[in-house]
Amino acid sequence: MTRTTSVVALCTLSLLAGSGSFLAYAQQNPAPRQPMSFFVTSVGLGKGANLGGLAGADAHCQQLATAAGAGGKTWRAYLSTQARPGQPAVNARDRIGTGPWYNAKGDMIAPDLAHLHGDTIELARMGNNITKLTDITEKGAIVPGLTDGTNPRDREVAYMREHPESNRHETLTGSMPDGRAFTDNRDHTCSNWTSEAKGVSDNLRENTGANAQVGMSDRNGGGNGSWNSAHGTAGCGQDDLARTHGIGLYYCFAIN
């Protein structure tokens, strides 16, 4: 590790840790920077929550990672699908390997599946290290969140496209807080990531139709700040996602 790299790594650690003891630890143990194994897609696929199923979503992860020089790993989208006749449910948490996972700057997101999801009450109360400053894109950019680029038009697709600084914190997961697929009869995955259908109401609370469960990449808003399961959307089209500050982004994890 060059001196410049280690200084940058230390600054990053101290910024994120916010803790003197953590900084002291980092200074004593200058570990080599870990390669990226986690990112938020810098762009969506452009067709709302129609991602071409899990296969299409995985391919998008792989393509973005490859463009960022990380194509040597095998990438999976953090998405669940619901059971259909002859087709069992798929849990997002079962698709992403076992960790640990690091972002594009080498910061650890979580050491394992149990920390990532809070499998025990102690782990769940502490939470993982997914925050607005750590769940960055494959390019290392922060995903704009609540109160960023605030404008009355920031719920319109055209405006969001033209203004990359506007809020787009709603992240597709189709998952429950524990990282598993929903087991009820409602749609939480936009028909397993193949649909751009409208919901039955623009009011999320009344939308029992087409929708996708989303998390908050900035851990702000949505009633609970959950990274993977805050609430559903108003529908599955690009316009529907935009209505609540989404643009069809999602999490990608390397399984190796």
Please report, as ranges, the residues that interact with other proteins according to CB under 8 A: 15-22, 108, 117-118, 120-122, 124-133, 146-147, 155, 167, 176-178, 182-184, 186, 202-205, 219-226, 229-232, 234, 243-245
DSSP structural state of residue 68: T
Residue with tokens 């391919």: 59
> What does each C-alpha distance from 219 to 60, 94, 204, 209 come to in angstroms?
24, 23, 19, 26
Using a 10 angstrom Cβ sphere, with 0-12 exposed, 13-18 middle and 19 or more buried, the burial of residue 94 is: middle
> Cβ 134 to other proteins, closest distance in Å?
8
Q: Which sign, positive or negative, has the C-alpha torsion 158, 159, 160, 163?
A: positive
C-beta closer to other proteins: residue 59 or 105: 105
Which residue number, 18 or 86, has a Cβ lying nearer to other proteins? 18
Least Cβ distance, residue 20 to other proteins (angstroms):
5
CA–CA distance, 173 with 230 (Å, rounded to integer) = 10
Query: What is the nearest approach in angstroms of other proteins to the Cβ of residue 196?
Result: 19
Selection from 43, 6, 36, 42 nearest residue 103 by Cα? 36
What is the 8-class DSSP label of residue 141? P
Whether the ω angle into residue 100 lies within 30 degrees of 0, i.e. cis, is yes
Of 98 and 183, the one with the shorter C-beta distance to other proteins is 183
| Residue 44 vs 118, nearer CB to other proteins | 118
Q: How far is CA 199 from CA 37, 51, 130, 230, in A?
A: 34, 17, 29, 18
- Cβ closest to other proteins, residue 69 vs residue 206: 206
Question: Closest approach of Cβ 28 to other proteins, in Å?
Answer: 16
Phi, psi for residue 61 in degrees, rounded to 5: -60, -50
Our CB check for other proteins shows the closer of 222 and 237 to be: 222
- Residues 40/253, Cβ–Cβ less than 8 Å: no
Q: How far is the CB of 194 from other proteins (least distance, A)?
A: 23
Q: How far is it, in rounded angstroms, from Cα 160 to Cα 143? A: 12
CB of 40 to other proteins, least distance (A): 16
Residue number, 4 or 21, with CB nearest to other proteins? 21
